[in-house]
């Protein structure tokens, strides 16, 4: 059994959704950030950075970084088709989107919400402004690709990358305004939300987005 540490609405959503899609047994541990549970020794012994998500594998080894978890779990279960195989022509595009979402969109989002973590200056607002600009640039790339060959990031093939994109899009500083600019992204998000596996866990997270 897997154990997933997360807090509602945070980065473990995509991992939990994928565990549901894959039909894997898992235990969900919700950390109370308001009570600083993520900073307590019981958790930092598992994840020294005190971040979520953390995934404990059936052999008791530990994974961090949500994109890595998605790639790993899909590769363990190729029969589900939720990621292209290493020899598939779609693999390159899949990895491209996973990395853009992780290193580009996700990071820009953090700069929007927590600019003070990225500067020692008294005024973190310039960091937020850069984050918002970079976030818009990244989503524009996604939108262009979806408009040209959607409905999913891999065209007609649904994958873990779509789950990841949907999660991060919910974090946009102003999701409604974001979707107004990027309607194909909104359509992707609606499609992911309509998946039975995803719909099962949405009530645990929707109030936190």
Domains of the chain with bracketed CATH? 2-82+198-208 (3.40.30.10), 91-194 (1.20.1050.10)
Residue with token string 């990071």:
107
| Predicted pLDDT of residue 176 | 86
Mean pLDDT value across the chain:
95
Question: Higher-confidence residue: 92 or 177?
Answer: 92
Mean pLDDT to the nearest integer, 65-94? 97
| Predicted pLDDT of residue 75 | 97
Rounded-to-integer distance, Cα 11 and Cα 163, Å? 11
| Predicted pLDDT of residue 175 | 86
CA-nearest of 143, 148, 139 to 112 is 139
Residue with token string 């109030």:
207
| Predicted pLDDT of residue 116 | 93
| Predicted pLDDT of residue 113 | 85
| Predicted pLDDT of residue 172 | 75
The confidence band for 173, taking pLDDT boundaries of 50, 70 and 90, is confident
The confidence band for 68, taking pLDDT boundaries of 50, 70 and 90, is very high
Percentage with pLDDT > 70 across the chain: 100
Q: Is the peptide bond before 187 cis (omega within 30 degrees of 0)?
A: no
Beta strands 2-6 and 54-56, pairing class: antiparallel
Chain CA centroid to CA 95, Å: 14
The confidence band for 34, taking pLDDT boundaries of 50, 70 and 90, is confident
| Predicted pLDDT of residue 138 | 96
Q: Report H helices in the chain.
A: 12-22, 41-44, 66-76, 91-99, 107-113, 125-149, 160-170, 175-181, 183-193, 196-201
Mean pLDDT to the nearest integer, 53-58? 99
Mean pLDDT to the nearest integer, 167-194? 93
Q: How many CB atoms lie within 10 A of CB 155?
A: 14
Rounded-to-integer distance, Cα 91 and Cα 157, Å? 12
Rounded-to-integer distance, Cα 126 and Cα 26, Å? 41
Contact 31, 6 (CB under 8 A): yes
Which DSSP letter does residue 176 get?
Answer: H
């Amino acid at each position: 059994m897997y154990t997933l540490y997360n807090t509602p609405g945070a980065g473990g959503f995509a991992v939990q959704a994928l565990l549901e899609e894959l039909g894997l047994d898992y235990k969900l541990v919700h950390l109370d950030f308001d009570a600083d549970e993520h900073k307590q020794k019981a958790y930092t012994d598992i994840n020294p950075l005190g971040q979520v998500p953390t995934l404990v594998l059936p052999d008791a080894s530990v994974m961090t970084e949500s994109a890595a978890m998605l790639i790993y779990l899909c590769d363990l279960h190729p029969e589900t088709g939720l990621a292209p195989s290493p020899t598939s022509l779609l693999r390159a595009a899949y990895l491209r989107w996973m990395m853009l979402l992780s290193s580009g969109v996700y990071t820009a989002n953090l700069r929007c919400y927590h600019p003070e973590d990225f500067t020692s200056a008294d005024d973190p607002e310039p960091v937020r402004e850069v984050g918002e600009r970079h976030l818009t640039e990244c989503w524009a790339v996604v939108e262009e690709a979806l408009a040209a060959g959607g409905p999913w990031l891999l065209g007609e093939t649904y994958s873990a990358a779509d789950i990841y994109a949907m999660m991060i899009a919910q974090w946009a500083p102003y999701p409604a305004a974001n979707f107004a600019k990027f309607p194909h992204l909104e359509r992707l998000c609606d499609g992911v939300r309509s998946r039975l596996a995803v719909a099962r866990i949405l009530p645990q997270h929707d109030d936190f987005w």
